Amino acid sequence: MFALIDGNNFYCSCERAYRPELRQQPVIVLSNNDGCVISRSNEAKDMGIRMGVPYFQIQHLVRQGKLIVFSSNYELYADLSRRMMSTIASLVPAIEIYSIDECFASLHGLNNLHQLGHNIRSRIQQWVGIPTCVGIAPTRTLAKFCNHLAKRHRHHFNGVVVWTDWNQNIRQRALASEPVTEIWGIGRRTGHKLAAQGIHTALDFINAHTPTLRKQFGVVLERTQREMQGIPCSELITEEAGRQNIVRSRSFGNIVTNLDGLQAAVSHHITAGAAKLREQNSQAHIIGVFIYTNRFRHDLPQYNGYRITKLPQASNDTLTLNHIARHLLNSIYRPGYEYKKCGIELGGIEPVHIFRQLDLLCHSQHNHRPELMRAWDNITSRYGRSSIRLGSELQSGDWLMTRTHLSNCITTKFTEILTI
C-alpha cells in the first residue's frame, strides 16, 4: 500500500503558518518578479482568481483590501517542506519526496490505514502548521488519484481517501466522476487523443482494451492503466539519483543592458550549480551559458546567445567553472540589446571517483581545490549561501528578482525571527 500526502495550496499555507489572522482571508502567491499567480487559498479561488493570471489584472483587489498578496519566499517554503517531509517520515517506513509539497510513503506492514491517514494529517498540522490531504491505495497512481478525490471533496472525506475501504460500486462511481486527464501522467494532449477513441473518464480508461492502448500510445500508458487497475508497476525511489544535467536560470527583475549585470547573474548561477555538483559528489565535463532578450517585447530588437564548451578536465570547482563561464559570456554578449534572462548549464556529469586520463596541458592544481571547496561548503552550510560570494556576483544588482511583497524568512534567519 502507498500513500500520497500533498500540502493544500502549499505556498499560501506556508505564508499563513505563522500568521493566523490570514487563515480565513483570500491569499495569493506570485511567481518570480511578481509576474502571475502561482498559488491561491480556497478563499481566493472562490473569488474567481485563476491560476496563472497576471498580477496587474487583479492588482486593484489588493489596493481595495479584498485580497492579500505575497511574493515567492522560496527559502521559507523549502524549510517548511523539509519539516513536513520529516514529520511524515516519523510515521511511515519510507518516503519518496516527489515535489516541494508532496511525497509518496510506503505503508508496508501497517494496519488501520484510514486512521493512519488522519494521524499523518493531524501531526503535520500540529508540528508544521500545513493542511494536507492523503490518498491511500495499492499503487502509486491510484494513491495520486485518491489524493485528488480527497482534495476535491475535502469536506466530505475529511482529507483522507483509502481506496480499499470502498466496494466495487463506489470505486466505479468515483472513477466515472473524473475526467481521464485527472489521472497522473495523462496530460491535455493525450487526453484529447484518448477522447477521440471514446475514452473520456477514468473508468473508460481502466476498461479500455489494453493491447490497443499499448499499440497506439506505448508501454508507459499501459503501465498507467495497470496501476489504475491496482497492479503495481513502480516502487518508491527512496534515494535521490544524482542529476545528469544541471540548468540554472532566472528572469531579471529589471532589464540588463551591460555586461557587468550579466556577469553577476552568471556567477550567481555558477556558484549554485557547482555547489549542487559537490553535494552529489560529482563533476561536470561540459559547461554552457545562454542569454535572452524579452521575446514578448516585439517592439525591441531580439537576440538569443548560447555557447557550450567541453572542459579539458571535469571539475566541480566554483572558481574554475566561473572563469570558463565568464569567457563564454564574453563571446556571446552583444551590446545594444535589453536582456531579460540568462543561465548556465552543466552537463557530462559523472561521479568524482571515476578515473579519467588527465590532460597533459591542463594545470590540474588550478582546476581542483577540494580543501578550499570543502571549506566553502562548510561555511555556507552553517551561515547561509550568501555568506561567501564571488566578487563578480557583486558587480551589479539589476538582475535580482523583483519581490515587493516578500514575507520574512521566519524559520531560517535570526534577524527575521517571529517576535512573541
Residue 412 DSSP label: T
Q: Which tens digits make up the pLDDT trace of 125-174?
A: 999 999 999 999 999 999 999 999 999 988 889 999 999 999 999 999 99
Residue 327 DSSP label: H
Q: Residue 110 in contact with residue 1, Cβ under 8 Å?
A: yes
Grid cell 503535520 in the structure block, residue: 124
The pLDDT value recorded for residue 9 is 93
Grid cell 486527464 in the structure block, residue: 181
Mean pLDDT computed over 237-249:
76
Q: Choose the weakest-confidence range: 23-27, 212-216, 295-299.
A: 295-299
CA-to-CA distance for 33 and 350, rounded, in angstroms?
Answer: 34
CA-to-CA distance for 349 and 330, rounded, in angstroms?
Answer: 24
Mapped onto helix, strand or coil, the DSSP state of residue 26 is coil
Tally the C-alpha atoms within 13 A of residue 375's C-alpha that lie toward its C-beta. 3
Q: Which tens digits make up the pLDDT trace of 219-238?
A: 999 999 999 999 988 887 76
- Among residues 306, 311, 307, 308, which one has the least CA distance to residue 283? 311
Q: What is the CA radius of gyration of the chain?
A: 24
The pLDDT value recorded for residue 333 is 93
- Among residues 418, 412, 419, 416, which one has the least CA distance to residue 81? 412
Phi, psi angles (nearest 5°) of residue 410: -65, -35
Q: What is the DSSP string of 76-115?
A: HHHHHHHHHHHHHHTTSSEEEEEETTEEEEE-TT---HHH
Q: Which tens digits make up the pLDDT trace of 366-413?
A: 456 889 999 999 998 888 788 888 988 888 777 787 888 999 999 988
The pLDDT value recorded for residue 361 is 62
Q: Residue 340 in contact with residue 321, Cβ under 8 Å?
A: no
CA-to-CA distance for 355 and 376, rounded, in angstroms?
Answer: 25
- Among residues 181, 144, 182, which one has the least CA distance to residue 163? 144
- Among residues 135, 121, 204, which one has the least CA distance to residue 166? 135
Q: Which tens digits make up the pLDDT trace of 246-300?
A: 999 888 888 888 899 999 999 999 999 999 999 989 999 999 999 999 888 888 8
CA-to-CA distance for 288 and 273, rounded, in angstroms?
Answer: 12
* 365 confidence band (pLDDT: 50, 70, 90): very low
Mapped onto helix, strand or coil, the DSSP state of residue 416 is helix
Mean pLDDT computed over 3-18:
94
Q: Choose the weakest-confidence range: 132-141, 347-356, 360-369.
A: 360-369
| Residue 355 pLDDT exceeds 70 | no
Cβ-based neighbours of 85, under 8 Å, separated by 6 or more? 95, 97, 103
Q: Residue 8 in contact with residue 131, Cβ under 8 Å?
A: yes
Kindly state the cell numbers that stand for 76.
Answer: 521559507
Cβ-based neighbours of 401, under 8 Å, separated by 6 or more? 32, 33, 250, 251, 252, 253
Grid cell 523583483 in the structure block, residue: 402
